[in-house]
Amino acid sequence: MADIARLTQVIEPEAAALGFALVRVKLTGSGDERTLQIMAEDPATGQLVVEQCMALSRRVSAAIDAVEDGGEELIEGAYHLEVSSPGIDRPLTRAHDFADWAGHDAKIALVDVGKGRRELRGELIGIEGETVAIEDRKAGRIEIALDNIHAAKLVLTDKLIAATRPLDTSGAEEIEETLEEEEAHD
């Protein structure tokens, strides 16, 4: 099993060198169907465009190869590398994400549920210190320790769409409909 913390140590400087903030490093799948997923964003736009993803992918590939050529195996066997922007309904992985996206709907899965619910959904209130607050639709205001959050992400709503900077649409005019798509519209 790959050490995500070690992978992050290798990947984060490559993202930073390009001016990007690392959002998440995740390894999914098994066997030859594993994917190393890297999400990053340009702090100026909150997204990455295709060219930025390609640049980060090349740097990360070279950095991983250099470490492995030095004798350290970061990822055992074959894997696919996927570099992407976090998207509108982005994962909330860093403490400041919970502050930056306060006022928007979020879904939070907990590590330890105790006697409560495993998943919370509602308006994200924010974070104070190491405590995240959410106005859960069913249970009201709930405060959760940051280290008790297994996963969190924004929920796609009209409010979120309105608040999100427009995506880069360069190249959109070059998209052509295929014959199958044209027939589907008829």
What does the domain layout of the chain look like in residue ranges?
4-84, 95-163
Domain 4-84: which CATH number of 3.30.200.100, 3.90.1010.10, 2.60.40.420, 3.30.300.20:
3.30.300.20
Give the per-residue pLDDT at 115.
63
C-alpha separations of 158 from 2, 4, 106, 163, 164 in Å: 38, 34, 13, 9, 10
Is residue 162 classed as helix, strand or coil in its secondary structure?
Answer: helix
Query: Which pTM does this prediction carry?
Result: 0.79
Residue 67: partners with Cβ closer than 8 Å, 6 or more residues away: 10, 74
Task: Return averaged pLDDT per consecutive 10 residues of the chain, 186 residues in all.
Answer: 90 98 94 91 91 96 96 91 93 95 96 80 97 95 95 94 67 54 52
> Are the C-beta atoms of residues 88 and 49 closer than 8 Å to each other?
no
Architecture per CATH, domain 95-163, reads as Roll (2.30)
User: Cβ–Cβ contacts within 10 Å for residue 96, how many?
Assistant: 10
Is residue 137 classed as helix, strand or coil in its secondary structure?
Answer: coil
Query: For residues 106 and 168, what is the distance between their CA atoms, to the nearest angstrom?
Result: 24
Give the per-residue pLDDT at 183.
53
Give the per-residue pLDDT at 172.
47
